[in-house]
Amino acid sequence: MWTDRLQFFEIMFKKTLQVFAVLVCVLLGGIFLTLLVKSLPAIVSQGIRFVTGKEWDPVMGNFGAIPFVEGTLITSFVALLISIPFSLSIAIFLGEYFKQTWFSSVIKSIVELLAGIPSVVYGFFGLFVLVPFVRSLETPLGITPYGVGIFSAALILALMIVPYSASMSREVIALVPSDLKEAAYSLGATRYEVLRYIILPYASSGIFAGTLLALGRAMGETMAVTMVIGNSNLIPESLFGPGNTMASVIANEFTEATDKVHLASLIELGLYLFVITVVINSVGRYIISKFTIETQTQ
Amino acid sequence: MNQEILKIQNLNVYIGDTHIVKDISMGFLRKNITAVMGPSGCGKTTLIRCINRMHELIPTAKVTGEITLYGRDLYAFNPIYVRRKIGMVFQRPNPFPTMSIYDNVLAGYQLNGVSLTRQEKDHIVQDALKKAALWEEVKDNLHRKGTFLSGGQQQRLCIARALAMKPKILLMDEPTSALDPKATSHIEELLIELKKSVTIVIVTHNIAQASRISDSTAFLYMGELVEYESTKKMFTVPKDKRTEEYLIGKFG
Amino acid sequence: MIKTNMPLRMVKDKASQGLVFLFSVLLAIPLMVILFYVVKNGLGVMSWTFLTHLPKPVGESGGGISNAIVGTLILVGLASLVSIPMGIFTGIYLSEYGNTKTAKYVRLCVEVLQGIPSIVIGIVAYVWVVVTLGHFSAISGGVALGMMMLPVITLSTEETIKLIPKTLKEASLALGVPYYRTMLSVILPTGLNGILTGALLGISRVAGETAPLLFTAFGSPFMNANITKPIQSLPLLIFNYSTSPYEEWQKLGWGASFLLISMIFCLSLITKGVTRKR
Ligand SMILES: Nc1ncnc2c1ncn2[C@@H]1O[C@H](COP(=O)(O)OP(=O)(O)OP(=O)(O)O)[C@@H](O)[C@H]1O
Ligand SMILES: [Mg+2]
């Protein structure tokens, strides 16, 4: 009967939806397993030395990841520090102080344009404009004038994550209930006081989560960093010295890694990057969803 | 001649663990308008949604009891078949925003994959729109989007969309509560005209409306059917105290 | 009257406002500088030859980047082919079953997928496709980019469908239209603009990606339409040329940067146009 055929289509459609949804989870699991299995040779041959070793020497078969872990942590935290005043200002600018004025649409466009520039173009610009500029600053300061290095990478990285963390913080600030703000204003508070004592404390967990997610981004960013960080496999000697991040060393050495353990070591770096970003994203998203639910039930 | 087209027997509805509709039994007479009244939250919407099985959209809803159409168990059919025989008009007008007026009227056919000739289509559209008393107002704009119409016109378009499927029964859930008085009276006149060809069940909060258009009235209170009578009788000599209190406006 | 230090409060108020203003406006400077250099160095390179010819060997001047333009289009097309339908279906699932436990896990997976660094996606596409085929290929690059597009499309489809009034779905079901047809013929067309926006966002996210292509699509100096062979793309070309020692290539790199940025900005303008029409 025609209704039987319909029933069949109905069930097929619902099953298709479910299959696709489950497929996404399988994809994520598959990514993890792939990274794990393919890094086994390195895990077996290097063992704990991989995470404690300070030497990365493919010729001698020594793979210690400390230089890259340090490189990743320093670049991304410095970048985060530089970016916070900018991203927070923009979030407040767009979400509170100059909400829906023509000026805020200009700022919004600037942020969108920055977000639209591809990583490789940031790197290109960094290599040809920023690096010579940093070098010219380093000479009078008495620092070895590499130009390329951790600091240049952090500068570019900061610029790249500002749009992301600004938009995250703005969404959170926009969720602060307006009756709270109005209550404070009606008590005679100034804008600064409302911001300082109402908005920021209220939104703090959400802003923290947004910053965490931005950190996750910064740690995984590859191209721009690779192009300006100097690609040295030693522990960075200073903030201005050359180095490498976990992501940038993968980009540099992956196609040249003919040795099995070398390739597996690079994949193991990828595995750690994966695990770190999964944790950061899960925690960040969890905080944000909790924050959103709280504001909605009030 | 006045046979019961639709019969509900010992109907109970649970959503999750809450007992919403409590052991209701009632019959609906052919080509009559039956009004369902009662205070907010008493289960009117839930009751009429069981009739075209829309309650099945709520995963936690459970129904016991029996509903029969022409003496045959509604729940033995495919819900899709039931819904084609029993049309529904909602509280807020909801024409399909991507479709023209013409396509909106034909939506039931086109979305169900029924192929029609141009003539058949024109005929169905004209017939349904005339029955819904909308034809004169839109006949020159049939291929414009239905969302440009006024609220009352949109609601009549939704009635036309339901009528186009030639349903035996038309369920209406507060169809005029989102409309102004003029559009409301327009639709009331339309309903009286419509009952020549279709059986109507209408949920309404408007006591005057029920008295103006309905033949019989059911009064629900906290999920129970308190009183079910001919409208004339109920409005002059209500049997139950709660009905009387409701009619003189003691509950909101 | 309670005494407060009104002048100090006002100064603090003005100062905070000034700081917020200053930092926001300051961000325009790096943007201007970047755009200035890209336009200054890139605009002069633009020509018909640049757009339609293949690159010349080192030492010869002139030549173009047509292979990279075609390659980028092919890679983005391959990525869209799988990720758009899959993203739409997953998005429908999330919006329809959003409150179930499974759906919450699925949404978390999608969000986590969105946060995975592109270089890691590159590794995975390498293992899955390049190792299997035995060589670099356009298809492996498409797989990598597709994985990056998928979450964007999924989440924007979910958002879009959630915003469509429930009564529309009910109206269709009440006409006896089956559920699958209701979703495909009523709900999807109603949300078309939002879904299109998501697809365009996804495309502009991956069009400029380099890292996942380094060891998948790999790059190639030739014109190639065979998806099992390595293929050039604009971002890859920019990377290779900008880090090369040849001034001629660096020039082409600026030209390619100008072209890529223009393409991405145009895409976002189109996206805005689509969004506004909603
Ligand atoms: N989807 C649902 N999930 C849980 N409870 C529901 C759901 N729909 C309705 N209910 C509950 O069922 C009861 C009856 O609801 P119903 O909508 O049938 O009332 P009503 O008589 O139509 O009210 P109104 O006049 O306000 O439209 C209410 O207490 C309501 O909270
Ligand atoms: Mg109701």
DSSP secondary structure letters along C197-256: HHHHHHHHHHHT--GGGTTTTB--SS----TTS-B--HHHHHHHHHTSS-HHHHHHHHHH
Are C173 and B90 within 8 A, CB to CB? Answer: no
**Which three-class secondary structure state does DSSP give residue B20?**
strand
Which DSSP category does C128 fall into? I
How many residues are there in chain A?
A: 298
Supply the pLDDT for residue C2: 63
Classify residue A129 as exposed, middle or buried by CB count within 10 Å of its CB (0-12, 13-18, 19+).
middle
Q: Which residue's alpha carbon is nearest to atom 31 within ligand 1?
A: B41
CA distance B198 to B88: 12
Contact A243, A269 (CB under 8 A): no
State what percent of residues in chain C have pLDDT above 70: 98
User: What are the distances in angstroms from CA A243 to CA A146, B126, C118?
Assistant: 11, 77, 20
Mean pLDDT of B94-111: 94
CA distance B219 to B44: 9
Quick: pLDDT tens for C32-65: 999 999 999 999 999 999 999 998 888 777 888 9
Quick: pLDDT tens for A278-291: 999 999 999 998 98
Are C172 and B96 within 8 A, CB to CB? Answer: yes
Mean pLDDT of B156-172: 95
Supply the pLDDT for residue A132: 93
User: What are the distances in angstroms from CA B10 to CA B22, B36, B199, B200?
Assistant: 8, 17, 22, 21
CA distance A206 to A195: 15
**B54 part of contact set with chain C, CB < 8 Å:** yes
Supply the pLDDT for residue C275: 78
Contact B163, B198 (CB under 8 A): yes
Contact B172, B206 (CB under 8 A): no
Contact A61, A44 (CB under 8 A): no
State what percent of residues in chain B have pLDDT above 70: 98
**Interface probe with C: pick from A111, A120, A215, most Cβ of C within 10 Å:** A120
Contact A225, A150 (CB under 8 A): no
One-character DSSP codes across B64-106: EEEEEETTEEGGGS-HHHHHHHEEEE-SS----TTSBHHHHHH
Contact C140, C71 (CB under 8 A): no
What separation in Å is there between the alpha carbon of C186 and the centre of ligand 2?
24
What separation in Å is there between the alpha carbon of B186 and the centre of ligand 2?
22
Supply the pLDDT for residue B2: 64
Supply the pLDDT for residue A203: 92
ipTM over 0.90: yes
CA distance C207 to C224: 18
CA distance B40 to B251: 9
Chain A contacts of B80, Cβ < 8 Å?
Answer: 3, 6
Q: Which residues of B43-64 are buried (b: 16+ CB within 10 A; e: fewer)?
A: bbbbbbbbbbbbbeeeeebebe
Tally of CA atoms within 13 A in the half-sphere of B123 that contains its CB: 6
Supply the pLDDT for residue A298: 61
Supply the pLDDT for residue B1: 46
**B80 part of contact set with chain A, CB < 8 Å:** yes
CA distance A151 to A154: 5
Quick: pLDDT tens for B186-229: 899 999 999 999 999 999 988 999 999 999 999 999 999 999 99
Mean pLDDT of A67-82: 96
Comparing CA positions, the residue from A11, A75, A30, A155 lying closest to residue C30 is A155
Chain C contacts of B87, Cβ < 8 Å?
Answer: 174-175
Lowest mean pLDDT among A143-152, A208-217, B29-38, C164-173: A143-152
User: What are the distances in angstroms from CA C93 to CA A14, C54, C172, C180?
Assistant: 8, 45, 18, 12
Are C13 and A190 within 8 A, CB to CB? Answer: yes
Supply the pLDDT for residue C3: 64
**A40 part of contact set with chain B, CB < 8 Å:** no
Indicate the pTM of the whole model. Answer: 0.90
Are C106 and A219 within 8 A, CB to CB? Answer: no
Look over chain A and give the mean of its residue pLDDT values, rounded to a whole number: 92
**Interface probe with B: pick from C168, C170, C175, most Cβ of B within 10 Å:** C175
Mean pLDDT of C184-202: 94
User: What are the distances in angstroms from CA C36 to CA A82, C32, C41?
Assistant: 23, 6, 8
User: What are the distances in angstroms from CA B3 to CA A275, B31, B35, B52, C52?
Assistant: 70, 9, 18, 20, 80
CA distance C253 to A127: 12
Quick: pLDDT tens for C122-131: 999 999 999 9
CA distance A82 to A162: 9
Q: Which residue's alpha carbon is nearest to atom 9 within ligand 1?
A: B46
Assign 3-class secondary structure to chain A: CHHHHHHHHHHHHHHHHHHHHHHHHHHHHHHHHHHHHHCHHHHHHHCCHHHHCCCEECCCCEECCHHHHHHHHHHHHHHHHHHHHHHHHHHHHHHHHCCCCHHHHHHHHHHHHHHHCCHHHHHHHHHHHHHHHHHHHHHHHCCCCCCCCHHHHHHHHHHHHHHHHHHHHHHHHHCCCHHHHHHHHHCCCCHHHHHHHHHHHHHHHHHHHHHHHHHHHHHHCCHHHHHHCECCCCCCCCCCCCECCHHHHHHHHHHHCCCHHHHHHHHHHHHHHHHHHHHHHHHHHHHHHHHHHHHHCC
Contact C246, C58 (CB under 8 A): yes
Comparing CA positions, the residue from C10, C37, C7, C5 lying closest to residue C255 is C37
User: What are the distances in angstroms from CA A75 to CA A158, A218, A274, A294, C115?
Assistant: 9, 8, 18, 34, 18
User: What are the distances in angstroms from CA C198 to CA A26, A52, B13, C80, C83?
Assistant: 23, 43, 41, 11, 11
Supply the pLDDT for residue A95: 86
Supply the pLDDT for residue B8: 95
CA distance B102 to B124: 10
- The CATH number corresponding to A39-297 among 1.10.3720.10, 3.90.10.10, 3.90.180.10, 3.30.930.10 equals 1.10.3720.10
Q: Which residues of B169-196 are buried (b: 16+ CB within 10 A; e: fewer)?
A: bbbbbbbbebbeeebbebbbebbeebbe
Q: Which residue's alpha carbon is nearest to atom 7 within ligand 1?
A: B15
Chain B contacts of A13, Cβ < 8 Å?
Answer: none
Which DSSP category does C184 fall into? I
Domains detected in chain B = 4-247 (3.40.50.300)
Look over chain B and give the mean of its residue pLDDT values, rounded to a whole number: 92
Mean pLDDT of B13-23: 94
**Which three-class secondary structure state does DSSP give residue C192?**
helix
Mean pLDDT of C140-148: 97
Beta strands A62-63 and B169-173 are unpaired
In this structure, whether the domain defined by C70-219+227-277 belongs to CATH 1.10.10.10 is answered with no
Mean pLDDT of C209-237: 94
The subunits that touch chain B, with at least 3 C-beta pairs less than 8 Å apart, are A, C
Evaluate if residue A84 carries a pLDDT over 80: yes
Supply the pLDDT for residue C164: 94
**A38 part of contact set with chain C, CB < 8 Å:** yes
Contact C113, C151 (CB under 8 A): yes
Lowest mean pLDDT among B48-52, C8-12, C55-59, C104-108: C55-59
Spatial CB neighbours of A18, under 8 Å, sequence gap ≥ 6: C93
Supply the pLDDT for residue B250: 67
Contact A211, C107 (CB under 8 A): no
Q: Which residue's alpha carbon is nearest to atom 6 within ligand 1?
A: B15
Q: Give, rounded to a whole angstrom, the gap between the first and last alpha carbons of chain A.
A: 52
Q: Which ligand is nearest to the CA of B44?
A: 1
Cβ neighbours of C246 (radius 10 Å): 12
The arrangement of strands across the sheet holding B18-29 comes to: B18-29, B4-15, B61-69, B72-73
CA distance B92 to A117: 45
Evaluate if residue A145 carries a pLDDT over 60: yes
Evaluate if residue B16 carries a pLDDT over 70: yes
What separation in Å is there between the alpha carbon of C157 and the centre of ligand 1?
29
Evaluate if residue B4 carries a pLDDT over 50: yes
Instruction: State how far residue A13 is from chain B, nearest Cα, in angstroms.
Output: 16
Evaluate if residue C1 carries a pLDDT over 60: no
Quick: pLDDT tens for C201-217: 999 999 999 999 999 99
Which DSSP category does B250 fall into? -
How many residues are there in chain B?
A: 252
Evaluate if residue C277 carries a pLDDT over 80: no
Mean pLDDT of B123-139: 94
Beta strands B33-37 and B18-29 are unpaired
Amino acid type, A14: K
Supply the pLDDT for residue C169: 95
**Where does ligand 1 bind, in terms of residues with CB under 6 Å?**
B 15, 20, 38, 40-46, 58
